[in-house]
Amino acid sequence: MAYVDYKTVLQIDNSVTSALEGINRMTRALMDSLGPEWRLKLPSIPLVPVSAQKRWNSLPSENHKEMAKSKSKATTATKNRVPSAGDVEKAKVLKEEGNELVKKGNHKKAIEKYSESLLCSNLESATYSNRALCYLVLKQYTEAVKDCTEALKLDGKNVKAFYRRAQAHKALKDYKSSFADISNLLQIEPRNGPAQKLRQEVKQNLH
């Protein structure tokens, strides 16, 4: 039934990458479980009428405004909904793409990928702390603090989130908060060298 659903989606819009990836995954799974005759055992795939295919491309411009409104509502709703297995999978792929961009030093593009990933699933602590790293590099310290806070809500022992938030607080001259974050980090990892070094730097500013 998952294969049938992906096929139906691709009839409506054949550019949905998650559906293309889904088809490939399901094909492999079906071949493994049912053998070479797997296609004969599938339920019929519903035919989507041409009028429903890519129909949003021909919407008049005033409808685009409505769609933009509903899109922002959808973004709010994303925060409250439980992501499906497909969403989680897509979020993972986008996060990895973000990680690759970070390695290449393209932090702005990486932020876009991490943001897309979080729209699919906002339950991954590391995605927030990775995006925070990009904000730090781009000197967007307030955004970095926010992302680290979200990361720590999901995983209270995310050492990178504590460290990056401490760095952002230091840059914002909030040395007290920075020191608190480093202290929490060192309770989890007492021998963390960079954190010990940062604590010394912050300590000098506290006095």
Q: What is the pLDDT of residues 131-140, one digit of tens each?
A: 999 999 999 9
Residue pair 177/169 in contact (Cβ under 8 Å)? The answer is: yes
C-beta of residue 36 within 8 angstroms of C-beta of residue 108: no
pLDDT of 56? 46
Give me the CATH topology for the region 85-204: 1.25.40
Residue 68 has what pLDDT? 53
Q: Taking the model in full, what pTM does it have?
A: 0.62
- Measured distance CA(77)–CA(31) in Å, rounded: 37
For residue 207, give Cα distances in angstroms to 157, 176, 199, 200.
28, 11, 13, 11
Residues of the chain falling short of pLDDT 50: 55-62, 71, 73-78
Cβ atoms of 120 and 90 within 8 Å: the answer is: yes
The predicted structure's pLDDT at residue 76: 47
pLDDT score for 6: 78
Report the interhelical angle of 159-171 vs 175-188 (nearest 10°). Answer: 160
- What is the residue extent of each domain of the chain? 1-40, 85-204
